[in-house]
Amino acid sequence: MSLLSKVKFELIKKLYPYKLKKTAASYKGRVYVGSPSFITSNTHLGNNVCFNGMKIFGNGKVVIGDNFHSGGGCQIITSFHNYEGDAIPYDDTYIDKDVIIGNNVWLGNNVIILGGVQIGEGAIIQAGSVVCKSIPDCAIAGGHPAVPFKYRDKEHYEKMKEGNKFH
């Protein structure tokens, strides 16, 4: 790794967490940023949030739980053009929808989450998925739209939680 790359990485690790905490509506604690990330002032961050290139857009409220991890290139979009308004294909108004993400959620690379959904505690979203419907607790979901195709071993999951085994 070149000296310039090392300096850039160190700046990202220091500058972006500060910037995100300053922008967020609230945060509980540690925020790690491994790649440039952007949030809105309607974003609420839990403790031990890890962004590796997250971009949050729109006016809807976004709540992210504790021990959240995202891969690179992820997006959360909470505002949508109004296609039933006064013009075609859409007018100049927006429809805002909130996103709620539970504790211990992991998003793979390039996941897109659309407003109006909840992602349950312990869920994993497969890389490249588009989440436009809510995902239950401990589900492993993927696709377009993302749908659960498997579930975590609940007993193992609870044991890890009880032992404070958080990454």
- What does the pLDDT look like over 133-166, one tens digit per residue? 999 999 999 999 999 999 999 999 999 999 988 8
pTM for the model stands at 0.92
Strands 139-143, 146-151: pairing is: antiparallel
Residues 60/43, Cβ–Cβ less than 8 Å:
no
Burial of 154 (0-12, 13-18, 19+ CB in 10 A): exposed
Q: How confident is the model at residue 76 (pLDDT cuts 50, 70, 90)?
A: very high
Q: Residue 68: helix, strand or coil by DSSP?
A: coil
In the chain, the largest separation of any two C-alpha atoms, in whole Å, equals: 56
Residue 92 structure tokens: 């100049």
The torsion angles phi and psi of 162, rounded to 5 degrees, stand at -60, -35
Q: Which one is predicted more confidently, 1 or 155?
A: 155
pLDDT of residue 1: 66
Name the residues annotated as catalytic: 81
- Rounded to the nearest angstrom, the gap between the alpha carbon of residue 33 and the centroid of all alpha carbons in its chain is 12
Q: How confident is the model at residue 32 (pLDDT cuts 50, 70, 90)?
A: very high
| CA angle, residues 109, 124, 54, in degrees to nearest 5 | 35
pLDDT of residue 144: 93
pLDDT of residue 11: 73
The torsion angles phi and psi of 119, rounded to 5 degrees, stand at -110, 120
